[in-house]
Amino acid sequence: MSDFPWLSVLIALPLVGAVLLSAIPREREALVKQFSLGVSLLVAALTGVMAAGFDAGGPRFQFTEKYWWIKEFGVHWALGVDGVALVLILLSVILVPLVMLASWGEADRSGGVDVPAKRSAKTYFALLLALESAMIGVFAATDVFLFYVFFEAMLIPVYFIIGYFGGPQRSYAAVKFLLYSLFGGLLMLVAVIWLYPLSSRAVEKGGLGQGTFMFDELSKMNIDPTTAKWLFLGFFVAFAIKAPMVPVHTWLPDAAQQSPPGALVLIVGVLDKVGTYGMLRFCLELFPGAAKWATPVVLGFAVLSIIYGAVLAIGQVDMKRLIAYTSVSHFGFIVLGIFAMTSQGQSGAALYMVNHGFSTGALFLVVGFMIVRRRSARISDFGGVQKVAPVLAGMFLIAGLSALSLPGLSTFVSEFLVIVGTFSRYEWAGALAVSGVVLAAIYVLWMYQRTMGGPKVPAVEGMKDLSAREKWAIAPIIAIIVAMGFFPQPVLHVINPSVDHTLARVGEHDPAPDITGNVAENGARP
């Protein structure tokens, strides 16, 4: 089993499926959807089989593959997963078939707001499969240059999904997304290329004696502190844009408002996690000294993202923009946990990546169902929906309560770990971050009250409740949210060894109070 190229197969299978879609006649939309769904389910099943063979107590990177790709430049086709990468790949392959099932209707392909579909279902579903391939690749790459290739490859399907199938201002949103991403990618490319000559230096000069882009080898280098700071910034800015963090977040609300609701689940639920995953994996482990140097500033921006995103969410009139701003706030929590440099904070941040993907995914799916029915994403166009569509309202309520981290639902565990882990080392940051919890209750409950509660507005009188297909699309996510709220330990068991390795590389230990009440350093996990 360990010799089977699991990750290469998982990356190739969606791409092959996208190519085979071209052989299906355009007018046979039902067959296109069924075939795409079948491919995504096969990918999910194979990923589950692979994940079952992962040994949390074994080597850090498992299911590894390493082949020369561009030998002259030291570039390998190198793949492997640790605990954090594995759970993010599982998140991706679970959401893709559910998004396809939810996007079965034509309205999802046109942005859902009175914009006719400009392309066929075949194009839309082929782009989703191509995006799935890139998402698996970016989390599985253990060669830094290969990671960059997948990092940029994700932009292509997302750009066309927004630009061809989005709302009235889709072109503006798509170009803005592309420009922001390309700017960050350019900075990271400079830093990636810079690593090669550094690794080529002699060992006594801090290099490796040969040029390479392999992550595990680069992490052993002793880079000059000044150089490491510049390299750190090159990676960090690219990841902050992707995350997104304030002040480089402005592409997300526009992209969210114009994107098809189904695809938006993947953009916010998975793609944005590449930013925080990159911070945890590359920024901390390749440049540990620079990461500690930048920590106070990064924590400040993380707290700013938490509060700023939550405050702006309260004032939104469009549901998709509102959820996008909540994600800016939630990503602030994830970055806070990563740079708290504690095992609780980083485990909570890694778990938060997964939980946020499911929680926000559920919200966007339910909002998409509402948009299909009402042909509008404006909060003021709804009211009293729970009287005519109680199941839809119930799903919206559970997803919303998860977004505000209600105890018993998945996001609470991760947010609690992040705040506790931050408090143990940076009390000021933890105290300010708690305000985001209060603000979350305001924007979620107020949105629910305005759309689902109150008197019925005339436009929702005949609104239908969720169909069987829509229930199948949303029910697995709701089940995961509830299950992980009560029993997150299996996921944490997989994540924790990788977090411990990261902390060891950075040279940090969990702070623990001594008998006098002062903070002392202790290497034990609480």
Helix (H) or strand (E) holding 65: strand 62-70
Give domain status of residue 517, yes or no: no
Give domain status of residue 146, yes or no: yes
Give domain status of residue 522, yes or no: no
Instruction: Give the domain range for residue 379.
Output: 6-510
With a cut of 60, say whether residue 111 has pLDDT above it.
Answer: no
pLDDT given at position 116: 46
How far is CA 275 from each of CA 70, 340, 353, 386, 499, rounded to the nearest angstrom?
26, 17, 10, 37, 17
pTM of the predicted model, to two decimals?
0.93
pLDDT digits (tens, 9 = 90+) for 226-280: 999 999 999 999 999 998 999 999 999 999 989 888 888 999 989 989 999 999 9
With a cut of 70, say whether residue 338 has pLDDT above it.
Answer: yes
Q: Are 101 and 144 in contact (CB under 8 A)?
A: no
Euclidean distance between CA atoms 381 and 67, whole angstroms: 55
pLDDT digits (tens, 9 = 90+) for 126-185: 999 999 999 999 999 999 999 999 999 999 999 999 988 888 889 999 999 999 999 999
pLDDT given at position 460: 84
Write down the H helix ranges in 315-426. 319-339, 343-374, 385-388, 390-403, 410-423
Give domain status of residue 12, yes or no: yes
| Structural domain count of the chain | 1
How far is CA 372 from each of CA 109, 146, 260, 390, 475, rounded to the nearest angstrom?
10, 39, 11, 17, 18
pLDDT digits (tens, 9 = 90+) for 417-469: 999 999 989 999 999 999 998 999 999 999 999 999 888 888 888 889 998 99
Euclidean distance between CA atoms 118 and 122, whole angstroms: 12
Q: Are 123 and 36 in contact (CB under 8 A)?
A: no
How far is CA 310 from each of CA 301, 304, 368, 479, rounded to the nearest angstrom?
14, 10, 22, 26
Q: Are 272 and 139 in contact (CB under 8 A)?
A: no
Q: What six digits make up the tokens of 12?
A: 């190739």
Give domain status of residue 519, yes or no: no
How far is CA 410 from each of CA 114, 320, 339, rounded to the nearest angstrom?
35, 22, 22
Q: Is 520 helix (H, G, I), strand (E, B) or coil?
A: strand
Give domain status of residue 526, yes or no: no
Give domain status of residue 523, yes or no: no
pLDDT given at position 513: 60
- Name the average pLDDT for the chain: 89
pLDDT given at position 516: 52
Identify residue 380 by its one-letter amino acid code: S
- What is the bridge-based pairing of β-strands 519-521 and 75-81? unpaired
